Structure 1
Amino acid sequence: MPLPVFRENMDEADLDKMARNANLASNFLKAIGHDGRLMILCHLVTGEKSVTELEDLLSARQAAVSQQLSRLRLEGLIEPRREGKSIYYRLTDDRPKQIMEVVYDLFCRDEDQGEK
């Protein structure tokens, strides 16, 4: 079934739904539109990670990772879980995973594709 945005004759209900969700979609895209946040989401697609694990995986300082995690939390893309002194993060739903799969297919699947 084609997406409503690609149909020539959209009905008013489709237009209303798109208008209501445009801000949500825009904020979502802005949140993932940063290389650090994008990489955090890529790592969280494989499962929950501690802040320390993310720092190591990203080769980044704690302050930088925390800043990006804060933005992703604000947008509702990740959620924390405290265990003792450690904080673990996981995806809140499948939206980031679905986007990461598309981004991976477009830019990472074949090395040659990204250089078009």
Structure 2
Amino acid sequence: MKQSPVIDPQALRGAAGTAVAALKVLANEDRLLLLCQLSRGEMCVSDLEETLDIHQPTLSQQLGVLRNEGVVSTRREGKNVFYSVANPAMLEILALLYSLYCPKEE
């Protein structure tokens, strides 16, 4: 009987830690909504607030968490701050979640 290859426990622990961090970010409904919207392209804060009906200070708090976790990046244009998804792995996770849980368009 052929034995399965052994996975380095330290490498596995590191990968598990990274996965848990990503899942913690996604485990908040407002953050998930923000990331789903941003996965479609860059948006400014006022457009996110209007589109998703997430009001201050919740919007600022959750965008701050996403920034601190390195999931989104920002750029300033005049008085507007624009957000976009900075982590390509997060885009893949969001695409999978979308395919599994979001309503299919007719």
TM-score range, shorter chain: 0.7 to 0.9
Task: Specify the alignment match of 2:35 in structure 1.
Answer: 41
Deviations 1:15-61 (A, max 9, x none): 32111222222111100111100010001111100000110111121
Whole-Å separation in 1 of the counterparts to 2:49 and 2:23: 23
Letter in 2 for 1:71: V
Whether 1:9 aligns to 2:14 is: no
Structure with more helix by fraction: 1
Bigger RCO of structures 1 and 2 (CA < 8 A, at least 6 apart): 2
Partner of 1:5: none
2:99 matched residue in structure 1: 105
1:21 aligned to which of 15, 19, 23: 15
TM normalised by structure 2 equals: 0.87
Root mean square deviation of aligned Cα: 1.8
Q: What's the TM-score once normalised by structure 1's chain length?
A: 0.80
Task: Tell me which residue corresponds to 2:74.
Answer: 80
CA distance in 2, matches of 1:101, 1:49: 18
Which whole-Å CA distance do the structure 1 matches of 2:104 and 2:54 have between them? 27
Percent identity, aligned pairs only, is 34
Structure 1 runs (4+) deviating above 2 angstroms are: none
Q: CA deviation at 1:66?
A: 0.7
